[in-house]
């Protein structure tokens, strides 16, 4: 019977889903591996034949680009070896970033699903087992094919493109404000709400060291000094989480031209949702002025995701002078 089940490869990277109490640390720390996680899920073996691997045991803030590229290589290998889908478990703190970064490079139709937990395994109402079960169910579902990387949490699937962590501790932590959620799981079965979108061409694997790309939030009373200081720190591009639809102060605006003459400067909105504008506001420091000074407006991309896209573009060999066009092209293809 189990021979007819699809194979799903599950790898653990750490996070709350894998954490148990440590007296020495005074709180929970990652200890459980993928095999232990899979064993804790009632009914998992009836959904798929599970192959487990433990890749890392890290809190997700400490995952690095190398860890994620290793996970990507591992995931591609699992599909090559016959897995129908792949699931990565990790901490939720950086899930919106890791999912997006992996999605930029994921070239296979097979689903790559990321999941985690908001409550550690010992907590009353721990959500890890339910999330892992939902992730595996999504991984084996034919409607999940060709949708890139999905985040499955709380019986909801999110596209890597849109997902963000909307709450620090609640079980319903993830939202997809602008694009909407990808699917909801009902009785274990994902119902997708959109037809598949044409996905942008996956990026080539990095051909150079990962560049440092700064993300600077424009705040009240700010003259942009921090953005300028990033250059002294060796940052190769600056993403500005700007006010509203892509706006900064007069003083900040004056720094944009000289900055953009040296490195790509990307303007995202620091608002929780919504896009940068392109032809609405005409004052100094607004989107039209910043674009004239050489900055690139990144539309619907959140600052976190814009920073990763610029980082990945540079790492995969795109020249700094071509980042603006690459960003525009990417945004065009992913507009819904
Ligand atoms: N809330 C986080 C989690 O869900 C904390 C730790 C982490 O991101 O690794 O896993």
Q: Confirm whether 7-192 and 213-331 share one CATH topology.
A: yes
pTM: 0.97
* pLDDT given at position 298: 95
* pLDDT given at position 329: 86
DSSP annotation of 169: S
- Taking the CA of residue 168 as reference, the ligand 1 atom at the shortest distance is 1
For the domain covering 213-331, report its CATH number. Answer: 3.40.50.40
**C-beta 59 within 6 A of ligand 1:** yes
pLDDT per residue, tens digit, the chain (336 aa), is: 446 899 999 999 999 999 999 999 999 999 999 999 999 999 999 999 999 999 999 999 999 999 999 999 999 999 999 999 999 999 999 999 999 999 999 999 999 999 999 999 999 999 999 999 999 999 999 999 999 999 999 999 999 999 999 999 999 999 999 999 999 999 999 999 999 988 899 999 999 999 999 999 999 999 999 999 999 999 999 999 999 999 999 999 999 999 999 999 999 999 999 999 999 999 999 999 999 999 999 999 999 999 999 999 999 999 999 999 999 988 877 764
CA dist list (Å): 242 to 58, 84, 167, 194: 31, 41, 21, 30
CA 91-93-95 angle, 5° bins:
70
For ligand 1, atom 4, name the residue with the nearest CA.
92
Residue pair 263/223 in contact by the 8 Å Cβ criterion: no
Residue pair 154/129 in contact by the 8 Å Cβ criterion: no
* pLDDT given at position 331: 83
Q: What is the domain partition of the chain in residue ranges?
A: 7-192, 213-331
- Based on the residue annotation, tell me whether 52 is a catalytic residue of this protein: no
CA 306-191-17 angle, 5° bins:
60
For the domain covering 7-192, report its CATH number. Answer: 3.40.50.1170
Compute, in angstroms, the gap from residue 204 CA to the centroid of ligand 1.
29
**C-beta 121 within 6 A of ligand 1:** no
């Amino acid at each position: 019977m189990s021979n007819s089940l699809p194979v799903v490869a599950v790898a653990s990277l750490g996070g709350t889903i894998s954490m148990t109490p440590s007296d020495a640390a005074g709180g929970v720390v990652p200890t459980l591996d993928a095999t232990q996680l899979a064993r804790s899920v009632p009914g998992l073996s009836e959904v798929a034949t599970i192959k487990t691997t433990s890749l890392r045991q890290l809190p997700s803030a400490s995952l690095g680009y190398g860890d994620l590229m290793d996970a990507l290589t591992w995931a591609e290998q699992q599909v090559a070896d016959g897995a129908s889908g792949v699931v990565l478990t990790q901490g939720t703190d950086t899930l919106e970033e890791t999912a997006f970064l992996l999605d930029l490079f994921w070239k296979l139709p097979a689903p790559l699903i990321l999941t985690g937990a908001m409550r550690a395994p010992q907590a009353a109402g721990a959500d890890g087992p339910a999330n892992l079960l939902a992730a595996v169910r999504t991984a084996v579902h034919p409607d999940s094919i060709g949708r890139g990387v999905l985040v499955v949490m709380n019986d909801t699937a999110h596209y890597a493109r849109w997902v963000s962590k909307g709450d620090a501790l609640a079980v319903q932590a993830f939202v997809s404000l602008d694009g909407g959620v990808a699917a909801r799981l009902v009785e274990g079965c994902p119902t997708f709400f959109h037809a598949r979108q044409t996905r942008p061409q996956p990026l080539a694997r990095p051909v150079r060291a990962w560049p440092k790309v700064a993300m600077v939030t424009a705040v009240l009373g700010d003259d942009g000094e921090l953005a300028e200081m990033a250059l002294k720190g060796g940052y190769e591009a600056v993403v500005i989480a700007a006010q509203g639809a892509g706006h900064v102060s007069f003083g900040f605006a004056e720094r944009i031209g000289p900055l953009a003459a040296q490195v790509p400067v990307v303007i995202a909105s620091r608002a929780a949702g919504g896009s940068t504008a392109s032809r609405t506001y005409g004052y100094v420091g607004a989107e039209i002025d910043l674009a004239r000074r050489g900055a690139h407006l990144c539309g619907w991309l959140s600052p976190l995701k814009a920073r990763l896209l610029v980082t990945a573009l540079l790492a995969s060999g795109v020249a700094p002078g071509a980042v603006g066009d690459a960003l525009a092209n990417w945004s065009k293809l992913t507009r819904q």
